Every structure is written in structure tokens, then in C-alpha cells.
Structure 1
Amino acid sequence: MSVAVWENELRLLSDLVDHPSEGTNDWWELVDETASSADPLWQQGQDRWYQQDYLVAMQAFQQSLVPLDLAWDEHQNQFLDNSESSADSFNDYHDASEARDRAVQLAHRLVFCSYCESDGNQVKQARKHLIMGLYLLLSNRNMRTKANSKETTLLNDAWMELMLSFEEDPACRILARDVAEMAIKSSKGRGVGNCGWHHKMQRPGYMVPGLKGTPYISGENQPAWCKTLEDHWEIILDEYDDIVKSKTLSVVGAGDRGSGQDDHRVVGAGSKWTEYVLFGTGSSTGDAPATKALLEQHLPDAVSLAQEGGGEIIFSRLAPGSHIQSHCGPTNIRWTGHLGLIVPESAESCKIRVGDQWHSWQEGKILLFDDSFEHEVRNDSEQERVVLLIRLWHPDLKTNQRSSALEAARTKKDKAVEKRYAPPF
């Protein structure tokens, strides 16, 4: 489906975000009348799931949601036919605790089913169920003002899954920004319902509040260590040359090291992105001694982050004609630096976009940015691009906060995986 089609699909959700005081009785009445009869089917799906009969379980889950699908389709058609929201205020019944609990239960089912569908490459159905789940949660007045932590987590999980569904689809990637903007707008004034994002271009999976979001750090605002590495860049390049003469660089995301195994998802078709790890999981001893000594002396923040498993320091090579697709890093607790070592002659043919601005590398110069902002890399030249890639702690994150912030990011990622394997009641 094209961007235009999905923009249309998102209109009903967008309208509710823009007009949060409105809801639709018809949608709720249809759900209330039909959805309860589907409970036995959902239970059958659960039973099959825990018997590891996942395909049959998924079919039961989807079948149990058919009444909701039909009600949603009718409601959406009415909305689109009117070309405006025909929503009425919720009546007292739909603000009642029973209706609220039922809405949360149905939203849980819709979001979980979307996980199964997404993992099964049923992208269209997954997105539809995420939109439906978000609408159920956002259209309840009580939930808008008194959402508890579990409901907030469910809401944010749905926003994240929908955003990633578009971000990972080259044809519809631009819509990831629209989803993030809706999530941010719906969070304003919500209190515990805050999604954590503040800018549609900064969409990491884990956000530490209070850290300044700066997509690109210009030369005059860079820390002192940048100048030190720039002064020694030719030594670093010589050590890179020594390594590639005797050793093979690993394909990024190939699983040769414990971290970074999801990085292959952002490598464009026909592209080649390789690395050699200096600090972090998969690193070797005895190589690039001068480079490592410089980093340990002048950039201990980067070394400690790599040693704690929150990043890495690598030689990064992007082959000619390669493209690293638009994406956001996993968390805002770190910055990323690139020291240009081998840069194609034409700056226009090899560049990086951070946020909505394009930048080019220079040999012997540091390019510093916050990779939690949307970014992509293009090497449209006929030459390779090589940088010393450095991850380092965000400067606003206090030393005594670092380990706990990294652990919280890991915990959130682990829980996000666990939720995909635990069907709700």
C-alpha cells in the first residue's frame, strides 16, 4: 500500500488526537455487542499458543478479532464518507469502569495480534490492528485523564510498534514521523500517559528525560577530545591500513559480535557495510595500539560505554554505492562521532543526514551527532568511505546515572521482546 493509502488509514486516528474530547458511540456499541462472543476463540488461541502450535493460535486470535474488524471498517467508512469527524461525546456508560476495562482488554489483544502479524509479514493487518488498539485507548475519556502505568505502557508500545512498522518500510518511511507527531500530541496534558518523545525526528526506543536533544554538534561546539583525535588522524589511518592488510572486516549485523545484530535491517539492498571492533563486544587485543592509547587517554567516556555494552568503537567501512537507510538509534543516552579517514572526493556523493540536515565528512575531521535522531547515510560515489566510529555517553548524563540508564534501556528492550511471546487474556 502506498503512502497516500496509509495516510488515509491514519486519518481517523489523527482526528481523534486532534480532537481528544470527542468519541464515537456507534463504534463502541458495535464492539460491545459483538466482541464478547469472541472470547472463547481467543482462549482457544491461548491454549494453542502454549502448546507451541503458533500458526493455529494466530489464526484463532485473528478470527476472534473479526467482529472488531468489521465494526471498525464500518466506523471508518462513515468517517471518510463524511470527510469530517461525526463523533459524539461519550455517554456515561462508556466512561464506566466496566467499559474501560473492556477497552483495555481489547486493545491488549489487538496489539499482541499485531506483533504476531508483523513477525509473520502480515504488515497491512498488523498496522490496522495497531490503529484500532490506539483508537480504543485514546477514545476513552477516563483513560485520557487517569491512565495507569500499565495502560500507559500499552499505549506507548502500540505507538512504538506502529512507528517502527512504517520506519522499516522504505515505501512508507515518511509516515513514521507522522505517527511520532501524533504520539507526542496525544501525550500533552496526559500526565502518566507521556510517550517520552519530544520531536518527531527523535524516536528512540528508550528516552532518558532531561537530556538535551541536539541532532548535530558543529565544530565550534565540539568537546576538546575531537581536536586531539583530529591532530592524530593520520596515525589512526595508518593503523587501519595495517589491519585491513592482514585481517578481514566483519559484515555489520552478521552476528559476529553480541551487540549490533539488528543493524543489518538498515542496510540497503546491494549495499555493503563492514566493521572492525576496537572496543566493545568482539574486539581483539594487540591491534591498533596507538589508536587505543589515544582513546583510553583522551576519551575514556567512549571506552567505558563500549566496555559496559552500550556502544562500540569501530573502524567502519561503507562500500561504493551503499546506503544505510533512515532510522533512529535505540536510546538518547549516547552520542556518535565519526573521524573521517578515507572520504570520497565528491562531498555531494557521500553524505549523512541527521534530522533534516545533510552533512559531509572530511578526512581528519570529526562529525559529531546524536544518533537517537533520524539519520541515514548515502555513498553514491565509486570510492569507499572509512571512519573511526565512536559511541560515547551523552554529556548531560551524570556519571552516577550512566550504568542505571543503560540497564533501564536494556530492560525495556528485553521486555519488548518478551511481550511478543505472551498473549494477554
Structure 2
Amino acid sequence: MSAGCKEKKKRPLLVRVGKALRPWFNDLIAKGSLVPNTSLLDNRLFPWVAALEKAAPLIQKEFQAIMAERNAVPPLRELSPDHERIAPDNRWKSFFLYGYGIRVPENCAKAPITAQLVAGIPGLCSALFSVLEPGGEIPPHNGVTKGMLNAHLGLGVPKDRDNCWIKVADDTLHWDEGRLFIFDDTYRHTVQNNTDEVRGILFIQFERPTRGLGRLMQRIFLGGVKKSAFVKDAQGNIERWNRIQAELEKV
């Protein structure tokens, strides 16, 4: 990745205003939420979860095929400079199928079953294979918006399960292969993989079910994010990474 891709840019006025108004947006979205405004949410609130867990062996097979070319999976910080604070090194890697509703055709072609399954999730924003290398850590942070919820489906869980975890608010969670949990990432959360094995998950972000004014604020905020440099930069870097990988495969 060229130095130019990592060059810090001053974000447009719209983005800076959006950040200032974010607490107000989040409050309205939470008030209009059709599901609890809690750190962890019950899977039974989302009918698509059961089908995804049932298909987990097929998803896991596609994930393992991609991981056979592990060096071709890019570090998140290479794709999204905005994530450099919470991706302090190259041990957090991300293989995007969808990013903020934008399909990545080359990656979906390598995981067609997974891509088809996630495309059916109501309000899908992003779906990716998220890899945390041995010793990897994601520092404590809060997500951007109440308008999205996060889901993790375990695909590759270290044998030393107790030393690989995510803490969301006051709850410490461990991944299980083929099992999914859902959380609100605006609550403080952090991740550590204190093992000598890779942790792999299917990471999904989807729109929080909302109504009324909360729904309107959610649409305005997410619409602005999709048009922002935050998303455009990442999209361009994913395309650039895939072009480089395609050229390397020809060598």
C-alpha cells in the first residue's frame, strides 16, 4: 500500500458536523428502537440467525479456503486508515464481502454461499471474514452509531478458548464455532487473542430495527456515512488491494 493511501485527510464539514451531532442522532435512534437498547441482544429477536447458524459448516468451509491464502487477506488498517487507532498493527485482518451495502464482487466470488446468505439479512450494512492473529488486540472503543448492530459467527476458535475473548460493557464473551451472538457496539468493547492460534469470525453489521423519528434519523445518518470519505476511501483501497492480488496471482 502506498504512503498516499495512508495520508491523513481533513474530513469534510459534513462529516465533522455529523460527528458533533452523533449523540443526538443516537438518542433518537435508541428511542425509536424496536429491540432493547442493551449491550447484548437475544438471537431470537432476529429470525435470520437460526438459518445462518445452520449453514455455518458451509460458511466455515469457504472461510478455510480463503485462509489457505492467508497473506492475501488484508490488514484492516491498510483498507481503512480511519481504523488505525483500533487496529494498531497488521494482526487484525478483514476480507470484505459487503461494506456499507457495497458488494465486493471479487471477494463474493470466492465465498459465494456466504455472500448469498448474508445478502438475505434485513438491513445488511457490512459482512466480512474478520481475522485476529495470535497476540492480536483491539483496544477499548465505542462504535459510531446506534443505527447498526453487530453479529459475530464463530468460524475458527483457538483451542485455548478462555484466552480469546471480547468484552462488551460488563460481559466477557467467547466465540464458539457455528454459534452467533449480537451486540450493540456503541457500548465500550475490546478484543484480545492471547493465544498462538488465529481467531476467525464472520462479522456482520446490520441496521437496527427502528420506527418513527428514530428510523428517519437512522436513514439520514447511515446515508451520510455511505457517501463519506470514511467509506469511499475504504472502497478504493479494497479495489486497489484486489487488483494487486490479481496481478500477483498471474506471476
Give the alignment's TM-score, normalised by structure 2: 0.70
CA RMSD of aligned residues (A): 3.1
Per the TM alignment, residue 253 of structure 1 is displaced from its structure 2 partner at its CA by 2.1
> In 2, distance between residues paired with 1:413 and 1:290?
30
Runs of at least 5 residues in structure 1 that lack an aligned partner in the other structure: 1-152, 161-194, 197-205, 306-311, 415-425
Q: Which residue of 2 aligns with 1:239?
A: 62
> In 2, distance between residues paired with 1:392 and 1:410?
14
> In 2, distance between residues paired with 1:253 and 1:397?
35
Q: Map of 1:284-295 to 2, 5 A cutoff?
A: 284-285=105-106, 286-295=109-118
Q: Structure 1 residues 364 and 413, CA, compared in 2 at 3 Å: closer, same or farther?
A: same
Q: Which residue of 1 aligns with 2:243?
A: none
Per the TM alignment, residue 284 of structure 1 is displaced from its structure 2 partner at its CA by 2.8
> In 2, distance between residues paired with 1:290 and 1:213?
32
Q: Which residue of 2 aligns with 1:114?
A: none
> In 1, distance between residues paired with 2:103 and 2:131?
17
Per the TM alignment, residue 410 of structure 1 is displaced from its structure 2 partner at its CA by 6.8
What do residues 220-242 of structure 1 show as CA deviations (whole Å, max 9, x unaligned)? x4412111111010100111122
Q: Map of 1:13-412 to 2, 5 A cutoff?
A: 157=20, 196=24, 207-209=26-28, 210=31, 211=33, 212-219=36-43, 221-246=44-69, 248-255=72-79, 260-268=80-88, 272-280=91-99, 283-285=104-106, 286-297=109-120, 299-302=121-124, 305=125, 312-397=126-211, 401=216, 402-407=218-223
The 3-state SS of whatever aligns with 2:78 is coil
Give the alignment's TM-score, normalised by structure 1: 0.43
Per the TM alignment, residue 346 of structure 1 is displaced from its structure 2 partner at its CA by 2.6
What do residues 81-127 of structure 1 show as CA deviations (whole Å, max 9, x unaligned)? xxxxxxxxxxxxxxxxxxxxxxxxxxxxxxxxxxxxxxxxxxxxxxx
More helix by share: 1
**In the alignment, is the contact (CA less than 8 A) between 2:122 and 2:207 conserved in 1?**
no
> In 2, distance between residues paired with 1:246 and 1:412?
31
What do residues 247-276 of structure 1 show as CA deviations (whole Å, max 9, x unaligned)? 710110213xxxx431121134x6610011
Q: Structure 1 residues 232 and 320, CA, compared in 2 at 3 Å: closer, same or farther?
A: same
> In 1, distance between residues paired with 2:211 and 2:162?
35
> In 2, distance between residues paired with 1:352 and 1:313?
18
> In 1, distance between residues paired with 2:51 and 2:38?
22
> In 2, distance between residues paired with 1:292 and 1:338?
15
Structure exhibiting the larger radius of gyration computed from Cα positions: 1
> In 2, distance between residues paired with 1:232 and 1:346?
25
The 3-state SS of whatever aligns with 1:254 is helix
- Which structure ranks higher in relative contact order (CA pairs < 8 Å, sequence separation ≥ 6)? 2
Per the TM alignment, residue 292 of structure 1 is displaced from its structure 2 partner at its CA by 1.4
Identity of matched residues, %: 25
The 3-state SS of whatever aligns with 2:176 is coil
Per the TM alignment, residue 246 of structure 1 is displaced from its structure 2 partner at its CA by 4.6
